[in-house]
Amino acid sequence: MENIYKLSEVPAGNYYVVDINSDGTRFSQRMVQLGLYKSVEIKKYKNSKKKGPILIKLKGSVYTIGQGRAEKIYVVKK
């Protein structure tokens, strides 16, 4: 069984596969609009310590994700 981690907890510079987007429907809908859904590969570029956004690369584009949202996105290391 693979280890599942919160996006906010994993180190930057690695590739991950999204496992679960957890939370209410509004959050899940927004993540799907960005293309961030189960089985999608992302790369985490920047890992802020408790404050500030996290940078991820998703399908050739770079996005910022706030710490609160990153707490609700679960990933496995590729």
Question: For residues 51, 52, 54 and 55, what is the CA-based torsion angle, rounded to 10 degrees?
Answer: -160
* H-helix segments, the chain: 25-34, 67-70
Domain that holds residue 66: 5-77
pLDDT per position as a tens digit, 30-56: 888 888 888 999 999 887 666 788 999
Full-model pTM: 0.83
Q: What total of structural domains would you count in the chain? A: 1
pLDDT digits (tens, 9 = 90+) for 17-28: 998 766 667 877
| CATH code at position 67 | 2.30.30.90
Spatial separation of the C-alpha atoms in residues 25 and 49, rounded to whole Å: 28
Mean pLDDT, the chain, rounded, equals 86
